[in-house]
Structure formats: structure tokens, C-alpha cells
Amino acid sequence: MKDFEDHLEIRALLERYCDGVNQRDAAIWGNTWAENAVWELPHLEMSGITGRDNIVAAWLDAMQLFPFVNMMAQPGFISIEGDHAVMRSYTSEVAVMQDGTQIEPRGEYEDECIRENGEWKFSLRRFRVLHGE
């Protein structure tokens, strides 16, 4: 039963992440990250952004480039061992850039999650573009 509950909590983590993006809410989005997390977006030459505060600052800078963003994601795979989990999730996004150009990337995140202070958080998110952008 605990494994089922952990799966639901990790899915809810991914849902909160998307909600934070869609609401442009740094508090919601930032709260999905572990204190010493790492965020990697190699296609944007953003690798190894370490620490929640640095990740949120980078996200706030990036969000200024897009007056509109809508992100949806779903897990494809979740494996849990104690307080550590691995997840592969797929994203579908629509974003409008400052010049009005619309992009619609589809991507994949390789995620690691940890239970930190009783809550599941992302400890590593590594993004890969599958199509678009």
C-alpha cells in the first residue's frame, strides 16, 4: 500500500510542477525541488544548475522570455526504493515568445526524486527535446 501512496505522491509532484509553470508561480514551482537539487536543460546550454534558490532564479529569468506558457506532463515510468525514486516523464508544451513566435516542444525528463522532510521533491531533472522547439 505504501508503494501505491508513494506513486500517487510522485505523480502529484509532477502535477504541482506543471501547475507552477502554468500559473507562473515561483512558490508553487520552487517547492517541487529538493534543497540541493540539480536541473539540466542541455538543449539550452543550461547544465548543472544546483540548489533550489539557483534553480528558481534561473526559471524566473527564463519565464521572462515567454508571455505565455502551458505545460502538461505525465509519467511514463516510476521506480521507488525507500526514500529515492526514478521517474521518466513526458512533456507537451505550448509557449509564446516575446516576438509572438509560438513553439510547441515535446520532451522527456529523466527525474530523480527524494523524500525530503516527509515530502517527495525533485533532486534531479534532466530534460531532452523529443520533437519541436
pTM: 0.94
80 forms beta bridges with 85
Q: For 4-40, write each residue's pLDDT tens digit.
A: 999 999 999 999 999 999 999 999 999 999 999 999 9
Calculate mean pLDDT across residues 51-76. 96
pLDDT for res 1: 62
Calculate mean pLDDT across residues 89-108. 96
Residue with cell 508561480: 25
Rounded to 5 degrees, what are φ and ψ at 16?
Answer: -65, -40
Residues with Cβ within 8 Å of 88's Cβ and at least 6 positions away in sequence, in order, are 75, 76, 77, 108, 109, 110, 111
CA dist 103 and 126 (Å) reads 20
Q: For 108-126, write each residue's pLDDT tens digit.
A: 999 999 999 999 999 999 9
Q: For residues 27 and 16, is the Cβ–Cβ distance under 8 A? A: no
CA torsion 59-60-62-67 (nearest 10°) is 130
What's the mean per-residue pLDDT of the chain? 95
Q: Model confidence at 47, in pLDDT bands (50, 70, 90)?
A: confident
